[in-house]
Amino acid sequence: MQVTEKRYYTIKEYLALEEKADSRSEYIDGEIIPMAGGSDNHNQIALNFSTELNFAFKRQNYKVYISDMRLWLPKPRIYTYPDVMVIAGEPEFLENRRDIVTNPKVIIEVLSKSTKSYDKEDKFKAYRTIPSFEEYLLIEQDRIGVEHYSKTTGKRWSLQKYNEKDEKISLKTIPFEITLQDLYNKVKFDTAK
């Protein structure tokens, strides 16, 4: 049996590969991890949330980014692509690159089976190293369900859970609300499960 040795990449190598790649990959402290493709529900939920945010902030000093914008986390050395990010004020770009931001206030991830535990644990821990980061939403795509974490003081975070279509999510750090009905608009759940 032949053991394949893990290959570690420099940040420069990763960025060069990512610029030429047909699909996106995350960078985690030297390892390049290919990202799985999104489903119809995943895409619809991210689109619904980002569209509502963008409309709400049309003439306000907030910037909404979708999954094509890369985020740099320097302490754990991670490049990742959150599903949706909100930046208050001006975006801070890494080394004047217009494709890498460093200062999200709110991050939204639509959960998939393959990334669910990573998004809830390791990724959330990594996101908490960002000084500007204050709210995190984890959205289920195969049923109605949202976990909404908001920073209270220091290292403390509160959790609010939502699972009914008539409920409304109110963000704590920016002036925005969305109903679960609007969030899950046009999303079809597999009823055979």
Q: What is the pLDDT along the chain (193 residues), one digit of tens a residue?
A: 666 678 899 999 999 999 999 999 999 999 999 987 789 999 999 999 999 999 999 999 999 999 999 999 999 999 999 999 999 999 999 998 999 999 999 999 999 988 899 999 999 999 999 999 999 999 999 999 999 999 998 889 999 999 999 999 999 999 999 999 999 999 999 876 5
Residue 9, domain member (yes or no): no
Q: What is the DSSP letter of 5?
A: P
Which residue's entry shows tokens 């050395």? 77
Residue 176, domain member (yes or no): yes
CA pair distance 178, 59, nearest whole angstrom: 18
Residue 19, domain member (yes or no): no
Question: What radius of gyration, in Å, describes the C-alpha atoms of the chain?
Answer: 17
CA pair distance 134, 128, nearest whole angstrom: 8
Amino acid 96: pLDDT: 84
CB-CB contact of 132 with 88 (8 Å)? yes
Amino acid 38: pLDDT: 81
Residue 21, domain member (yes or no): no
Domain count, the chain: 1
16 CB-side CA count, 13 A: 5
CA pair distance 157, 151, nearest whole angstrom: 4
Residue 93: domain span: 38-183
CA pair distance 13, 155, nearest whole angstrom: 34
Amino acid 172: pLDDT: 96
Between CA 175 and CA 34, with CA 130 as vertex, the angle to 5 degrees is: 105
Categorise residue 89: left if φ over 0, alpha if ψ from -120 to 50, beta otherwise: left
Q: What is the CATH number of the domain that holds 55?
A: 3.90.1570.10
Residue 2, domain member (yes or no): no
**Widest CA span in the chain:** 61
| Structure tokens given for 118 | 């990573």
Residue 27, domain member (yes or no): no
Amino acid 21: pLDDT: 92
Amino acid 162: pLDDT: 98
Sign of torsion, CA 53 163 134 126?
negative
Residue 110, domain member (yes or no): yes
Amino acid 92: pLDDT: 97
Amino acid 91: pLDDT: 97
Residue 75, domain member (yes or no): yes
